DNA sequence: GGCGATTTGTACGTATGTATT
DNA sequence: CAATACATACGTACAAATCGC
């Protein structure tokens, strides 16, 4: 797992989004599957909920995930090209 | 000025965005003019910086404002239809 | 329909970083 | 270099939606 605490000009939420993007694109996170809940992700990755929210917002913009209030966050099916 | 503390099913940031939208659409805030800085707006409207950030994100999505890091937030010129 | 558990959404406060003037 | 203003990041609390029982 990447070290998001490492100093970098790229914001943590962008690096986290890129990390998730790689997992999705590689198929390790399959279309339709549910992601780890946001708050769990936050503690797993060692970042704040705020950062995870920014990350998921970015992934949504990329069309890679879909979020349903009260249910969870899912890998888009089908994935955009 | 609207009372954003009043109970409503509509989130504060949406109501704040609608309020600003009305000011822009009515011409009270002319295209090209600079908005009150975010933190000042927050205290003026009696809401948090977080809420103002959500509000400006929404107004940007609506194409009504443009934000420049370090400079400020401006009413779009021209305004979208 | 209610109740509790789970999960996302909103809102507040605060501190530090970065860009512009 | 200082002042201003937006950007990122952390922490926390409560609200709202969904689901299973």
Asked if strand C comes closer than 7 Å to B69 Cβ, the answer is yes
Residues forming a β-bridge with A63: none
pLDDT tens per residue across span B21-76: 999 999 999 999 999 999 999 999 999 999 999 999 999 999 999 999 999 999 99
Give B50 CA → D13 C1' in Å: 14
Separation between the CA of A56 and the C1’ of D15 (whole angstroms): 20
Say if A6 falls within a structural domain.
Answer: no
CA pair distance B65, B76, nearest whole angstrom: 5
Domain count, chain A: 1
The model's pTM: 0.93
In a domain, B4, yes or no: no
pLDDT tens per residue, range A32-43: 999 999 999 999
Phi, psi of A9 (to 5 degrees): -70, -20
Higher-scoring residue by pLDDT: A6, A48: A48
Q: What is the CATH number of the domain that holds B70?
A: 1.10.10.10
Give the bases of strand D that a protein CB approaches within 7 Å.
4-13, 16-19
């Amino acid at each position: 797992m990447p070290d998001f605490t490492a100093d970098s000009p790229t914001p943590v939420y962008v690096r986290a989004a890129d990390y998730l993007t790689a997992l999705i694109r590689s198929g390790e996170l399959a279309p339709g599957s549910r992601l780890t809940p946001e708050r769990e992700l936050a503690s797993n990755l060692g970042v704040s909920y705020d950062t995870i929210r920014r990350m998921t917002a970015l992934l949504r913009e990329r069309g890679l995930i879909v979020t349903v209030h009260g249910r969870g966050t899912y890998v888009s099916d089908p994935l955009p090209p």
